[in-house]
Amino acid sequence: MSAFFSGTETAFATVNRIRMKNIAAAGNKKANKVIRIADEYDRALSALLIGNNIVNIASASIGTVIFTTWFGPSGAGISTLVMTIVVLIFGEILPKTYAKQNAESLALRVVNILDFFIKLFSPLIFLFLKLTSLVTRNGETTPSVTEQELKFIIEESENEGVLEQQESELVQSALDFDEITVEEILTPRVDVVAVEEQEDPERVKSLFFEEGYSRLPVYSGSIDHVVGVVHNKDFFRAYVQNQQVSLNEIMQNTVYVPPKKLISELMKELQRLKSHMAIVTDQYGGTIGIITLEDIIEELVGEIWDESDEEETPVVKLSENRYQVSGDLDPEDFFDEIDYDYPEQDFEELNSFAGWALETLERIPEPGASFTYRDMEILVKEVTDQRIVTLEVIFHPKEEITEKISEK
């Protein structure tokens, strides 16, 4: 009986609820009962502990009587030693080990017996739970699985071959999706291709062909005053009818968003407004950049390529310890790609290597400027129009980094 109570306790503590729900969905009535009892585990645990203690006390008492009869006064000590070993091995270790390895199947076999003991001891269970509630204070309910634990489970599932790499990456992206802000994935102002509202239609036509974009922002005076968005289909439909087409007549309203807005919220807003592009503005109304629905979706499913996209290589491995990186590359993406451990809090406010260099050097650097971080040296390689285009990351032994810091 001790083995039953101990094994059942472990089985219900470790039973996989998702697997059990699948069994229940297949029509197994016992599985529904297992789920119900597992959801009220405190009641089940109380019944199991009461039963286990009754059995252990009874077996110890009977053992003492038997061994005292056989060995006289020394029988009590012998009984304690023998019963401790027997209960420990056959009443604890073996049943709990078996139950941990066969939690679902064991739970299904013993659920009716456990349900009987829960009903049998229900008055005592009620009393114990009331006493427990007086001792333990009610606080916030701790989730059964945290986000970090779920990510670890996904990684382990991938390592064990349960999930393919692509499936694992998709789930990880979905978990991270709610934490990404617009400023982390926007196209910066300097890379935005836009047209003036009075632009010559021939020039607009050329831009659509040359850049391959389906939409272009339309501004009045300067790009800080974006007044709409023109779609290539609308433009060419109007252009065929009138080559002097006015952008003001065919452009669509634009959506303005702050840089700190979560992309999960923006996606819902764009879907509601049936829009594919938003203009990202700062607190003064100036244009920071643009973000498209495609940019948001790519955070979930990865890069989406079409025939107009030019393939870019943000990371080029030059040697065993040297990498060339794009200034637009997020340092965290680089570290993840090369499997480098780093404290995430160091990069919470950084979205690119270029931004990292500017913040650290506190100036627009010239090619050759460098700074150090942990065991790496980050060297600025190319700067164009006050913009850091490429950098080089060099990993050094710790003693070399110490020397470089001393020299500086």
Tokens of 210: 């040359």
102 and 157 co-located in one domain:
no
Task: Quote the pLDDT of residue 27.
Answer: 86
pLDDT at 225 over 80: yes
Judgement on whether residues 21 and 86 belong to the same structural domain of the protein: yes
Q: What is the DSSP string of 24-78?
A: HHTT-HHHHHHHHHHHTHHHHHHHHHHHHHHHHHHHHHHHHHHHHHHHGGGHHHH
What average pLDDT does the segment 255-262 reach? 94
Using pLDDT thresholds of 50, 70 and 90, give the confidence band for residue 335. very high
- The pLDDT tens digits of the residues spanning 19-47 come to 888 888 888 889 999 999 888 888 898 99
289 band by pLDDT with thresholds 50, 70 and 90: very high
Last residue of a domain, one of 268, 301, 334: 301
- Residue 401 pLDDT grade (very low, low, confident, very high; cuts 50, 70, 90): low
Does 383 fall in a domain?
Answer: yes
**49 plus 68 within the same structural domain:** yes
Instruction: Provide the domain limits for residue 250.
Output: 182-301
Same domain, 105 and 58: yes
Query: Do the domain assignments include residue 347?
Result: yes
Tell me: pLDDT of 212 over 90.
Answer: no
**In this predicted structure, what is the pLDDT of residue 268?**
93
129-154 b/e (C-beta count within 10 Å ≥ 16 → b): eeeeeeeeeeeeeeeeeeeeeeeeeb
Look at residue 165 in the predicted model and tell me its pLDDT.
78
Q: Are residues 283 and 345 in the same domain?
A: no
Mean pLDDT, all residues of the chain: 86
Q: Which CATH number goes with the domain that contains 254?
A: 3.10.580.10
What's the total number of domains in the chain?
Answer: 4
Q: What's the whole-number mean pLDDT along residues 378-388?
A: 90
pTM of the model: 0.58
Say if strands 315-319 and 287-292 run parallel, antiparallel, or are unpaired.
Answer: unpaired
Percentage of residues of the chain with pLDDT beyond 90: 40
Query: Are 112 and 231 members of one domain?
Result: no
Q: Mark whether 271 and 205 lie in a shared domain.
A: yes
> Where is pLDDT greater, at 405 or 233?
233
Residues 296 and 322 in one domain: no
Q: Judge if 219 and 263 occupy the same domain.
A: yes
Q: What is the pLDDT of residue 292?
A: 93
Same domain, 221 and 343: no
Shared domain check, 220 and 109: no
